[in-house]
Amino acid sequence: MEPTPRRKRRTRRRNVIIASALTTTLTLSGAAAWAADRYLVQHVEIDDVAAYEAENSPVAVDDGADDTVGDEATTETVLTDTSYTSGETSVEISTVVEGSGDSTVTYYVAEVTLGEATALRSAFANNQFGENITDLTSSIAEQNDAVFAINGDYYGFRDTGIVIRNGVVYRDEPARTGLVFYTDGSVEVYDETATSAGELVAAGAWNTLSFGPAIVEDGAVVDGIEDVEVDTNFGNHSIQGDQPRTAVGVIDDNHLVFIVVDGRQSGYSEGVTLTELADIFVDLGATTAYNLDGGGSSTMFFDGEVVNSPSNGGERATSDILYIAG
């Protein structure tokens, strides 16, 4: 048998290499397209949230202020550099600096008393609901006339979880440990997989958060929180170690405390672990505390200004906020 000509062998080898490269390119292109569609491209499910809520909200909204007129004194609103009071709803913000040098930690505490539970509201970026729809916390706050706001749970980064906002159901895909605020002023940690959005609304749910983990329960730091993985999907970052943080704690019915910890800024604030964050809440008297989206998203807004120093050198866009209207 005559040997295969060298030219044919080269041609065959080249074709194999080209085919392999083309397959790899197509695979990578497909993966990139999938990732962009899943995590970057906006998928709008509800185009006008305000109208949707007006049509579907099960309760009349009360901002917590006392609107008595006539012989009774009308509501007085008092606003200072660090506080807001209107009727029985109040916000008091304090700055705490601990440690020194590279171990310095700076965080902001907002103690909030609600005249009515419905005074704590939620808003979505661009007045739309869906995936990958984002805006700055301050922009969302200003668009909703908020006097106080923090970044929420970044629901738009994922397609799971129970999402109830301002009494209206937006998503019912149970997946993790959530936090629910009820219209009677109570707040509790719950297992999403053991219930449904419909059951929660029937029980008086006003807002839910789906991030976590719960870091304080029954007034004590939850065991094992340093090992919790909130999500394992593509693009998720570790929540362990010293990080910027946003979290909400419960002192009593209609008595909440919000904390934003700055981090990744040596000499100003290195951030805290989840356990250290939980310790802060316990020291403040919280019986329950729940971790929210942190890192570059961690933002506290008050009276037209960002209170803290976000770790990205400026605000990072997010999908939602919790706020109190001014």
* Separation CA 121–CA 304 (nearest Å): 17
Whole-angstrom Cα distance, residue 267 to residue 269? 6
Confidence category of residue 23, pLDDT binned at 50, 70, 90: low
Domain boundaries, the chain: 1-41, 45-325
Q: What's the mean pLDDT in 177-197?
A: 98
pTM assigned to the model: 0.86
Amino acid, res. 155: Y
Between 55 and 6, the more confident residue is 55
Sign of CA dihedral 316, 320, 324, 326: positive
Confidence of residue 67 (pLDDT cuts 50, 70, 90): very low
Question: How much is the average pLDDT of 247-258?
Answer: 98
Q: Is the pLDDT of residue 49 over 50?
A: yes
Residue 125 sits at φ, ψ, to 5 deg, of: -60, 135
Structural contact between residues 163 and 198, judged by C-beta atoms closer than 8 angstroms: no
Confidence of residue 25 (pLDDT cuts 50, 70, 90): low
Asked whether the beta carbons of 154 and 320 are under 8 A apart, the reply is yes
Could you report how far apart the first and last alpha carbons of the chain are, in Å?
A: 92
What are the tens digits of pLDDT across the range 123-180?
Answer: 999 999 999 999 999 999 999 999 999 999 999 999 999 999 999 999 999 999 999 9
Q: Tell me the three state secondary structure of residue 160.
A: coil
Residue 234 reports pLDDT greater than 50: no
Confidence tier at 251 by pLDDT (50, 70, 90): very high
Which of 156, 124, 162 lies closest to 143, judged by CA?
A: 124
What per-residue confidence (pLDDT) applies to 13?
59
State the pLDDT at residue 70: 40
